[in-house]
A and B are shown apart, each in its own frame.
Chain A
């Protein structure tokens, strides 16, 4: 059934129904030949995307910019707020009002939770959340779902192991919610001090999914269809000592993967530090670089849907 996303803000995965997410993922599949430059389009010609990155980013920013260029549009913005009026004390609200008048859509990454929601209040053009502190990162969630869907042909029924920093990691919170919405089986593996917050577990239960929580990766890997590893993010820890105690708790390497199913896929939102040994890159399990590429077709689908271009 056709759906209208024109002018819609993309702030939280929770703003979308299952049908809407499926629609976006299906549309993203049609973007792949444009994303890898087999085909070309000028769908968003004359349209301008403002990318406001108040926090460092590699993949998210580049893939948004790549997506806009592949659709024939233009990009303005900054990757580092140090050269902007924010250093002079300008409020986020005022920065957004300015970007709103210069562009047709705004992508924002900000260190404070709720920043994208606030930005959407002060903007007439649609706002896409590219990560707000330890909060939401809906486009990452969509590309993760897209990766599972394209590799496994379905999301429901897959046993997905979420590994690492499940307490502070923003991607795993949104992803756990979305996977539960799609009725995937969930296993949460983390150090005792970085367990998945209760409110996320309760949300999963509301969808009828009973996640299993454990500290034992060796055991969890045996039945996994998807292993989603995350970095233990130093920048999110309020206490350096707490970080030092848990960094390097888990390492995915070929010895561990010998115990896994042959068709297990290993995903990671990247950047990785020590969680995945580079020796895994050469195995058929390694999906994280393809996952990073998938950011382009998924973000192309979103931009094209919200900017109301004719469909490809």
Chain B
């Protein structure tokens, strides 16, 4: 018998195919729960067709493109489903851009991008899977990308 773990949502966003164990990092980059009072459901280590995955469901909130880029850095294989009236109206597979600007700050405290200068943080993506980024300014690689998400 199929067991229903979390009910479908009426309106909102379902983030599927999150790297197992990364659901909480996705919530952190989306600033949940601080940024929303919606109901949020989390499933971790769910068996999917391609192995285990995490799923996050956020009711009454549709993610914008900048948020998608952030998720791509944490969960490069994630798919974003926008749900309206129980139907998937938009499906988006996240893709890491070649350059990441203004999304995550440099983990190096003495990097000039962390000083009072009129520039945004900027990283070159040196690997998309697993995601690895290198600061355009100080050339350092952050160990945990999620830590620096702005």
State yes or no: do A and B come from one complex.
Answer: yes
Chain A residues in contact with chain B, CB under 8 A?
A: 12, 14, 91-93, 110-115, 117-118, 121, 132-136, 199
Contacting pair B139 A135 (CB below 8 A): yes
Query: A112 and B112 in contact (CB under 8 A), knowing A91-B117, A92-B117, A93-B117?
Result: yes
Residues B110 and A113 in contact, CB atoms below 8 Å apart: yes
User: Could you tell me if B112 and A110 are in contact, using CB atoms closer than 8 angstroms?
Assistant: yes
Chain A nearest CB from B136 CB (Å) reads: 7
Contact A92 B110 (CB under 8 A): no
CA distance A133 to B136 in the complex (A): 15
Task: Decide if B137 touches A114 in the complex (CB within 8 Å).
Answer: yes
Give chain A residues whose Cβ lies under 8 Å from the Cβ of B137: 113-115, 117-118
**B107-126 vs A: 1/0 string, CB under 8 Å?**
01011110111110000000
Smallest Cβ distance from A202 to chain B, in angstroms?
10
Which positions in B face A, CB cutoff 8 Å? 106, 108, 110-113, 115-119, 135-141
> Quick check: A113 and B117 within 8 Å, CB to CB?
no
Q: Which residues of B contact A113 (CB under 8 A)?
A: 108, 110-112, 137-140
- Is the Cβ of A92 less than 8 Å from the Cβ of B115? yes
Whether A112 pairs with B110 at a CB distance below 8 angstroms is yes
Inside 8 A of B141's CB, which chain A residues have their CB?
199
Q: How far is the CA of A92 from the CA of B136 in the complex (A)?
A: 17
User: In the complex, what residues of B have CB within 8 A of residue A112's CB?
Assistant: 110-112, 115
Closest to A112 in B: B112
Min Cβ gap B98→A in Å is 17
* A115 touches which of B108, B112, B118, B139 (Cβ 8 Å): B112
How far in angstroms is the closest Cβ of chain B from A199?
Answer: 6
Given A91-B117, A91-B118; A117-B136 close (CB under 8 Å): yes
Are B111 and A114 neighbours in the complex by a CB distance under 8 Å? yes
Q: How far is the CA of A114 from the CA of B105 in the complex (A)?
A: 13
CB B144 to nearest CB in A, in angstroms, measures: 15
Name the one of A93, A121, A135 contacting B138, with C-beta atoms under 8 angstroms. Answer: A135
The answer on a CB contact under 8 Å between B110 and A118 is: no
In the bound complex, how far is the Cα of B140 from the Cα of A199, in angstroms?
A: 9
Give the docked Cα–Cα distance between A91 and B117 (Å): 6
Q: Which 9 A-B pairs have the closest CB atoms?
A: A114-B137, A113-B138, A114-B138, A114-B112, A112-B112, A115-B112, A118-B112, A117-B137, A114-B111
Partner of B117, one of A14, A118, A135, A199: A118
